[in-house]
Structures are given as C-alpha cells and as structure tokens.
Structure 1
Amino acid sequence: MIDRRGALASVAAMFGTAVFAPIARAAGPAGPVAVPKISDGPPSVAVFTPAQREAVTVLSERVLPTTDTPGAIAAGVPAYIEKLLADWSYPKEREPLIAGLAMLEARSQQDYKVSVAKATAAQQDALLTLAMNDQLPGGNAFFLVFRQLVLTGYFTSEIGMTQEREYLPVPGEYNGAFPYSKVNKVYTA
C-alpha cells in the first residue's frame, strides 16, 4: 500500500522544478538519507489566525469542491496545509501565502464588504481568479503556492487516493485502442 510520503513524492514529481519547497522536503530525498517521519499530531506552531484558517478552508474547497467525490474540506486539506507549513517550511517560505490571504481579505472587504470566509462561492471564485491572473499584488505567487498545497493535500489524503484515484498494483492488460469514453478513474500503481 502506498504511504503519504510516497504519494507526496509522486505529486512533487508531477509539479517538477516548480514544486513548493516544503512539499519537496516532506516528500523526502531520493537517496539513502534518513528523513524524519511525518507526525500525525497537530502542527508544531499555529501558522494561521482563526480568520486565515477560515479563509484557507473555504478557498481550498473552491479549488477542489465536492462533486461526485468529496472535496478538499472532507479530505482534511486545510489541516494538512497548516501542518505542512508549520512543520516543513521556514517562516520566509510562508510569506507569499500569508500575504496572499491578507491581500484577498482586503480585496473582499473592499469589493464585497465581507470577509473571504463569509463571501459567496462566486465572490470567492472571483477573488481566486484575480489572484490567478496576477491582477492583485503578489496574486500569482500566492495562487501557485496555494493551488499546489491544495492539490498535494487532496491527492495524498485517504480520500484522494481511494475515492478520486484507484490503487491497482497490477492495472491489467495493455490495450492501445481503449476508448477514452470508458475511462472512469485515473489509476496509480
């Protein structure tokens, strides 16, 4: 069975050289160097204020919403993000994310007169789109890191590995003419 560190390594490889440094550290080196075990406990330090934690929660669900499979909140992505930032990042590496959350909060207050956490889904999508398109100061730097954290947290969670993907140690025979319309899930071995 694949463990979280193995899943982190495959997700880190998917992002390539642009991977967020704490994700690469948590995935571990490819050599014989011993890497500390990823603990299951709470984060070693509080990275977010309560308001930022709420914003991370609602925004992560906007990146990976609940559809026919559970979304980011059900997969525990917000807690994963805080744990990764607390235990696997340096304070300097957290700055784009913290600054981005502050920037989104200020823009939400300016445009909608409510916090990011209280904004509607459409308003949250509009804020994330502004960040993604770099139409806010430091928006793209925030969005790239945030999206990587959400995707990594989701696809390395139990929900991501068992409900979104399907683990098949031997996926079956090769069929080069398999119709794409019959593909249901992405398989991993």
Structure 2
Amino acid sequence: MSKTIDRRGALKKVTLMMGGVAATPALLSVLQSCQQAREKLDWVPEFFDENQARLIMEISEHIIPKTDTPGAKEAGVHIFIDAFIKHCVPTKFQNIIPDGLVGLENKSQSQFQKGFLDISKEEQVSVLSDVAKADYSQAEDKANPTFFRSLKELTLMGYFNSQKGATEALALVQIPGDYEPCIPLEDGQKAWAL
C-alpha cells in the first residue's frame, strides 16, 4: 500500500469533509424540527399541563401500542384521561397521576440523566416496568389508588370506549339490533364490544 495521496484522492477527501461540515447545520435543523414536532399538542389539555399531557400520551401508547389496530394515541385516550380526571375524579384523588408523573420523570433522570420523553423507547419501557413493579407491590389496598394502576385502568377504559377501540380493536354490533344471549366465538375472533 502506498502512503502517498494523489491529487484526485485528496480532492475527494476534502470534498467529503466539506460536505459533512456543510450538511451538519441542515441535519441539525431537521433533527430539531422532528423534536419540536413531537412537542406540539394537537389539543388543549383541561387538567394537565402540556408536559404532563405529552407524558400521558407516550405512556398510554406503551400500554396500548399501535399494531394492526390503532394505538392509544390514535384513539385519543390522552384526551379522555385529561377530561375524566378534570370532571369525574374527586378532588382528593386528582393529584395521583400528576404526582406519579413527577416520580416517573425523577426515575428517568436518575437512571438515564434525561427526561422520560428524551430517552429511547426501550429505556422508556425499562422505566415504566420499574414504576409498575413498585406500584403493583403497594397496590394491595384497592381503596387507595396508585399512579400506574390508575393510569392503566383509565387507558383501557378510554381505549375500549373510544370509537376506534370499539370498532377496530373489538367486534361491534350496533344497537338497536337483535338480542342474541349466546354467540359462539371462533378461534382468533375478537371479543365483542358492549
């Protein structure tokens, strides 16, 4: 191998380096615009602040992710949870989820030195698993709701009562219709929405 560089090789290397230097600001602006797009909400929360609303969107999507059926985000579960807590939860229980979100953020910061929304999906699952384990270990007393259990129950309730959840994840028979008390299910068939 020769250690000398001919003029053509040197020009190629300089061009490649200059292209990388020139492309860096453009690449950074694209990445920042992706970050900013994720941070914008398409609705105005009634109860939560914007960061809490984003956290709830992300966590609910981990609970019911998009597969061949819509995920929790697409079904608008985060909007349901926000309205439900504002209008239906007694005042003494309204801080369970906001306080739990603070704990979740603290756990993410201590484990990964980043906020929950800034870590990878795998890291988010790790943080959520730890929070859920701790939550369910103290959830023996059903009279005292806990953060993750409450959020999971609200996610499931919101999803399966949404139009997308009831029509695309479950089989739905519109009412009024014929009453059939016993309908056999076949292997692989979806459960019926009520």
Q: TM-score range by the shorter chain?
A: 0.5 to 0.7
Number of aligned positions between the proteins: 144
Paired residues of 1:62 and 1:125 also in contact (CA < 8 A): yes
Could you list the runs of 5+ residues in structure 2 that have no partner in the other structure? 1-42, 140-144
| C-alpha RMSD over aligned residues | 2.8
**TM-superposed deviation, 1:116:** 1.2
Distance 1:123 1:150 in 2: 21
Which residue of structure 2 aligns with residue 186 of structure 1? 191
Among residues 162, 166, 178, which one is paired with 1:161 in the alignment? 166
In the alignment, the residues of structure 2 paired with residue 100 and residue 82 of structure 1 have an alpha-carbon distance, to the nearest angstrom, of 15
Q: Against the structure 1 CA distance between its residues 137 and 120, is the aligned structure 2 distance closer, same or farther, given a 3 Å change threshold? A: farther
Q: Which has the higher contact order (CA 8 A, sep 6+)?
A: 1
Query: Normalization by structure 1: what TM-score?
Result: 0.66
SS in 2 for 1:154: helix
Given the superposition, is the C-alpha separation of residues 170 and 82 from structure 1 closer, same or farther in structure 2, using an over 3 Å criterion?
same
In 2: Cα distance, 1:87 partner to 1:165 partner:
27
Q: Answer yes or no: is the 8 Å Cα contact 2:75–2:163 preserved in 1.
A: yes
- Alpha carbons of 1:173 and 1:154: their partners in 2 closer, same or farther (altered >3 Å)? closer
Change (3 A) 1:86 1:174: closer
Q: Secondary structure at the match of 2:192?
A: strand
Partners of 2:70 and 2:153 in 1: CA distance: 18
Residue number in structure 2 paired with 1:74: 74
| Letter in structure 2 aligned against 1:58 | E
Give 5+ residue unaligned stretches, structure 1. 1-41
Q: Which has the higher helix share?
A: 2
2:154 maps to a residue whose letter is L
> How far is the alpha carbon of 1:141 from its aligned partner?
1.4
How far has the Cα of 1:70 moved from its partner? 0.6
SS at match of 1:46: coil
Partner Cα separation in structure 2 for residue 46 and residue 138 of structure 1: 30
TM-score of the superposed pair, with normalisation by structure 2: 0.65
User: Which residue in the other structure is 2:111 paired with?
Assistant: 111
1:53 partner letter: A
Identity across the alignment (%): 24
C-alpha distance after superposition, 1:7-66 (max 9, x if no partner): xxxxxxxxxxxxxxxxxxxxxxxxxxxxxxxxxxx88x8321211111111111000000
Post-superposition, which runs of at least 4 consecutive aligned residues in structure 1 deviate over 3 A? 135-140, 169-176
Shift of 1:96: 1.6
Structure 2 counterpart of 1:80, which letter? F
